[in-house]
A and B are shown apart, each in its own frame.
Chain A
Amino acid sequence: MIYFYAAMAVAAWLFLVGVYGIVTSRNLIHLCLCLVVVQASTYVLLTAVGYRPGGIAPIFADVKQTDKAVDPVIQALMLTDIVVEATVVALLLALTVQIKKKTGTLNPDKVNLMRG
């Protein structure tokens, strides 16, 4: 039981640290990586929720089929999470490239695309 709360606490810590990084970021690439940290918190949370005491991996290639495995639905959800993260980060980095080109700076405080 204690590991469950430990994992929940780690997830909360990763989330808050990542958001802190985003808030105080002085560099857009650093900001993208902080977002990756925030997303890592969802992996920890999902793994903790899907875990069962004494459960094995839900793969029955080498072991006899059993229902004493961890939740495969949650694991599939996490796989989706990882794929989406990778593509979102690629998109954000492309936006960063464009911002650097247009404004000449990567500091989010100095980026000002509005021209009156």
Chain B
Amino acid sequence: MRHPGRMGIFFTGAAAVAALYALSAIRLPGPEDVRGEYMRIINGECVTFRHVTDAVTAVNFDFRGFDTLGEEFILFVSVMGTLVLLRQTDAKPGAWAPDALSPGRAVGASDALRVWILAMTGPTVLFGIYTVIHGQLTPGGGFQGGVILATAPLLLYLAESFDVFRRITSHRYLEIVEAVGAGAYGVIGLLALFRGREFMANIFHLGKGGNDINLFSGGTIPVINAAVGIEVTAGFVLLLYAFLQEMLERKEAGS
């Protein structure tokens, strides 16, 4: 190792962290002794009071909705940051013209791969939408479903070409869609203020409850889920777009 000093610092620090961690882990109460009041209340009452069967989604988009708003804006800001970083290019003017970006087929896509990917694109979109809209019933939600949806254009890139990818993910509109998805979350939260409730309160009609809980149960939860799904889909497609664009530009420049 060329940095003996660095390794010395690491092993000293690692030993100290390990010792302190072990000390604190041993003193923790065991799982049998933990009495999480929130756990008991949410697990016991989320079906009754929020008409949702997925307690995790109820926490994320209702009981702790304000935190998830922050999480969504972390996503939003880091997508923006990535786009800004990747756009700082010293390529010659004209390199962004559409003509410079016609790389043809993706490398190594055989006919079998292309047919199979094209056949799977539809089911991928369907599964993504299913995951988003069933967020309050079964495991899933806007974040998970949004990422699945964002892989559909990527499949098309693998099977066809970047031109196809770019045609279906028109950049300008995507940015607007992402902003609308992010803003809708905040607007739904603000609506509660006009009804004289606290921010992010669940003000919509809760829909059917009990054993008849369906896609429209849960008040604001499915609406927020859909907004998050739109935002995450657009955000991740923008990320993929930016990275692919960057890669192709380097290929054009021959580096």
Residues of chain A touching chain B, judged by Cβ–Cβ distance below 8 Å, are 1, 4-5, 8, 12, 15-16, 19-20, 23-24, 50-53, 57-61, 65-73, 75-76, 79-80, 82-84, 86-88, 90-91, 93-95, 97-98, 101, 109
Q: Shortest CB–CB separation between residue A114 and chain B, in angstroms? A: 18
Does B227 lie at the interface of the complex (its beta carbon under 8 Å from any beta carbon of A)?
Answer: no
Q: How far is the CB of B132 from chain A (nearest CB, A)?
A: 14
Q: Across the interface, do A72 and B85 meet the contact criterion of CB distance under 8 Å?
A: no
Tell me how many residues of B have a C-beta within 8 Å of chain A.
59
Instruction: Verify A61–B78 contact, CB threshold 8 A.
Output: no
Partner of B56 from A1, A19, A58, A101 at Cβ < 8 Å: A58
Q: List 17 A-B contacts (CB under 8 A).
A: A4-B30, A4-B31, A20-B10, A50-B39, A59-B139, A67-B44, A73-B59, A76-B56, A76-B59, A76-B60, A79-B60, A83-B74, A91-B78, A94-B243, A95-B85, A97-B243, A98-B88
Q: Give the complex CA separation of A98 and B243 in angstroms.
A: 12
B74 contacts A87, C-beta separation under 8 Å = yes
Q: Given A8-B25, A73-B38, is A94 in contact with B44 using a C-beta cutoff of 8 Å?
A: no
Partner of A23, one of B7, B42, B48, B138: B7
Contact status B79-A97, CB under 8 Å: no
B contact residues around A69 at 8 Å (CB): 39, 43, 55
Contact B82 A90 (CB under 8 A): yes
A97 adjacent to B56 (CB under 8 Å): no
Q: What are the residues of chain B within 8 A of A67 when measuring CB–CB? A: 39-40, 43-44
Name B55's contact: one of A8, A52, A72, A97 (CB within 8 Å).
Answer: A72
B14: Cβ under 8 A from any A Cβ: yes
State the CA gap A90–B80 with chains docked (Å): 11
What residue in chain A is nearest B239 (Cβ atoms)?
A90
Which residues of B does A touch, CB under 8 Å?
1-3, 6-7, 10, 14, 17-18, 21-22, 25, 28, 30-32, 34, 36, 38-40, 42-44, 46-48, 53-56, 58-60, 64, 67-68, 71, 74-75, 78-79, 81-82, 85-86, 88-90, 137-139, 141, 143, 147, 239, 242-243, 246
Please give me the residue from chain B that is nearest to A59 by CB atom: B54
Q: How far is the CA of A83 from the CA of B74 in the complex (A)?
A: 9
Alpha-carbon distance A109/B141, docked complex (angstroms): 42
Q: Compute how far the CA of A68 lies from the CA of B3 in the bound complex, rounded to whole angstroms.
A: 52
* B134 to chain A: closest residue by CB: A61
B82 and A65 within 8 A (CB): no
Contact B36 A71 (CB under 8 A): yes
Residues of B within 8 A of A68 (CB): 43
User: Which of these, A4, A91, A97, A109, contacts B246 with CB under 8 Å?
Assistant: A97
- Contact A97 to B85, CB < 8 A, known contacts A51-B31, A71-B36, A73-B59: yes
Using Cβ atoms and an 8 Å threshold, which residues of chain B touch A90? 78-79, 82, 239
Residues of A contacting B53 in the complex (Cβ-Cβ under 8 angstroms): 59-61
| Inter-subunit contact A79/B137 (CB<8 Å) | no
Q: Which residue of chain A has its CB nearest to the CB of B14?
A: A16
Chain B proximity of A62: nearest CB distance (Å) = 9
Q: What would 15 more interface pairs be, CB under 8 Å, given A8-B21, A12-B22, A59-B139?
A: A1-B31, A12-B21, A12-B25, A23-B10, A51-B31, A53-B32, A59-B54, A65-B43, A65-B47, A69-B43, A69-B55, A72-B55, A90-B82, A90-B239, A94-B82
Task: Report A-chain residues with C-beta under 8 Å of the C-beta of B3.
Answer: 109
B47 and A16 form a contact (CB under 8 A) = no
Which residue of chain A has its CB nearest to the CB of B142? Answer: A83
